[in-house]
Amino acid sequence: MSMVLDTQNGSDVTAEPAGVIPAEAARAPATLHDELLAALRDYIVEGNLDDGARIPERLLCDRFGISRTPLREALKVLAAEGLIELLPNRGARVRALSADDLRELFDVMGGLEALAGRLACERVSDADVAEIERVHHDMYRFYLRREMHDYFRCNQDIHRMIVEAAGNAVLSATYASFAGRIRRVRYSANLATDRDRWGEAMREHEAILDALRRRAGSELSDLLFQHLRNKRKAAQAEAKG
């Protein structure tokens, strides 16, 4: 079902045959915006556009069945996340990261996740651990099926949930401000051809979950930092390949 722009009021609506009341009519406009944002983010993260490539607005409007107004609003959000760059009067392009950018960003993210792991072990509830474990099992199922899209979604949810379990608003905000900038690289690192990075990441997540269950803060902190370091090495190797 494609989204189109209502030319009279500027809101996103769903095109339906005459006489049919669309289910989306009962939904808040923000929901359609969020759906477009998620679809566009996935499209870029999953490597459909090269690093530094211009954002093809007309192609994306056709792909998602929208006008340029909602597309450009979504692009502003992705620029704020650091996934793309807005070019004055020239559209937007996928943000390209140098080797130094990758090293610095992954070290910062590793430090943030290490701190989050230590704090989470002090504050996480049994219910939170159970929910993280549930998502982990979903992730493992997608890994066995080699379904990268859903695997990566669960993977990112787990990292976010550990950060949230730390119970520190400043940490969460800082983490969110950097996460978008390396989301695309974290995805591509699983595709490294020189070794089974995807399998390695899955085994690392098993150890992360085990340490969280035991509330082993120092151990979880070290595991998360090394997990990000390994991810960065795989991403750099994939970029060189």
190 in Cβ contact with 148 (< 8 Å):
yes
Q: HSE, CB side, 13 Å, CA atoms: give it for residue 84.
A: 28
**Quick one: average pLDDT of 185-214?**
88
Give the pLDDT confidence score for residue 78 in this predicted structure.
Answer: 94
Q: Are 109 and 228 contained in the same domain?
A: yes
Give the pLDDT confidence score for residue 233 in this predicted structure.
Answer: 87
Give the pLDDT confidence score for residue 190 in this predicted structure.
Answer: 81
The structure tokens 């990112």 sit at 156
Residue among 86, 93, 91, 80 nearest 179 (CA): 80
Q: Tens digit of pLDDT for each residue in 177-194?
A: 899 889 998 998 887 665
Q: What angle do CA 143, 145, 147 make, to 5 degrees?
A: 70
Q: Tens digit of pLDDT for each residue in 6-40?
A: 333 333 333 333 333 333 333 344 587 889 999 99
Give the pLDDT confidence score for residue 195 in this predicted structure.
Answer: 61
47 in Cβ contact with 187 (< 8 Å):
yes
Element (H, E) at 12: strand 12-14
Q: Tens digit of pLDDT for each residue in 42-86?
A: 999 998 999 999 999 999 999 999 999 999 999 999 999 989 999
Q: Are 206 and 104 contained in the same domain?
A: yes
Residue 86: CATH number of its domain: 1.10.10.10
Q: Are 164 and 126 contained in the same domain?
A: yes
Domain end marker among 44, 79, 94: 94
Position 236 confidence tier, pLDDT thresholds 50, 70, 90: confident
Residue 205: CATH number of its domain: 1.20.120.530
| 3-class secondary structure, 44 | helix
Q: How distant, in Å, are the alpha carbons of 96, 148, 187, 197, 241 from that of 193?
A: 21, 15, 13, 8, 8
Domain end marker among 61, 94, 127: 94
Give the pLDDT confidence score for residue 189 in this predicted structure.
Answer: 84
Give the pLDDT confidence score for residue 132 in this predicted structure.
Answer: 98
Q: Are 62 and 32 contained in the same domain?
A: yes
Q: Are 33 and 126 contained in the same domain?
A: no
Q: Are 22 and 106 contained in the same domain?
A: no
Structure tokens that stand for 21 in this block? 């009341």
Q: Are 53 and 40 contained in the same domain?
A: yes
Domain tally, the chain? 2
Q: Are 109 and 126 contained in the same domain?
A: yes
The number of residues in the chain equals 241
The residue range of the domain holding 187 is 99-240
Q: Are 129 and 158 contained in the same domain?
A: yes
pTM for this structure? 0.78
Q: Tens digit of pLDDT for each residue in 77-125?
A: 999 998 999 998 888 999 998 889 999 999 999 999 999 999 999 999 9
Give the pLDDT confidence score for residue 13 in this predicted structure.
Answer: 34
Work out the number of other CB atoms within 10 angstroms of the CB of residue 84. Answer: 26
226 in Cβ contact with 203 (< 8 Å):
no
Give the pLDDT confidence score for residue 238 in this predicted structure.
Answer: 67
Domain end marker among 46, 69, 94: 94
CA–CA separation, 217 vs 115, rounded Å? Answer: 9
